[in-house]
Amino acid sequence: MCLPIFLRDHPIGEVWSFIQGDIYDLQPASAITSNQLIKVVQPQIVLVTDSLIRNLQRVPTDIYKVSPRQFEEIIADLLSSMGYDVELTKQTRDGGKDILAYMNTDLGRFLCLVGAKRHRHDRPVGIALVRNLYGTLKDHEATSAMLVTTSYFSDDAKEFQERHKFHFALRDYADVVAWIQKYKIK
């Protein structure tokens, strides 16, 4: 394992324990400060995301190889690059909203609830998932909601969305690929 110079003087168990902990609630006696750790770890995380998106720009169909959580993270990064402030929700019991996407404008702060569904290319997203997210939108009184998939939407899902087009959007594989192609690597 290749460690940065300031970490090499510490036993690997201490470094691992430190990394697994809450880096914002560090004990003052720790030999490694949270700022040092953030400077070392954060750029590597950004490089992983950029590397994945760079690969998807070359081979968009590799989107089907990522895990559902990675798909959520990719969508969050793409929305962030479009100017949204994004927040990933917890992985379970999220009510169908995987990402909270905030947009600040001169008119105010808007919230879009985003559901990200990584499906096979031949498995359409049906009306049930669309209605579920729409119900979450109404329950949370957000500005809008958007369901994003690696697949496509059934006809009844598209009809439902059309009735609620000013509050609800559907984005399919072609939209995701277009976002990936527009993404600027950091």
- 76 Cβ contact list (under 8 Å, min separation 6): 86, 88, 99
Say if pTM beats, i.e. exceeds, 0.75: no
Spans of the chain below 70 pLDDT: 1-48, 93-95, 186
Residue 94's pLDDT is: 62
The dihedrals phi and psi of 92, each to the nearest 5 degrees, come to -120, 155
Instruction: Please name each of the domains of the chain with its CATH number.
Output: 7-58 (no CATH), 67-182 (3.40.1350.10)
Distance in angstroms (rounded) separating the CA atoms of residues 135 and 43: 38
DSSP code string of 106-158: TTEEEEEEEEEE---TT--B-HHHHHHHHHHHHHHT-SEEEEEESS-B-HHHH
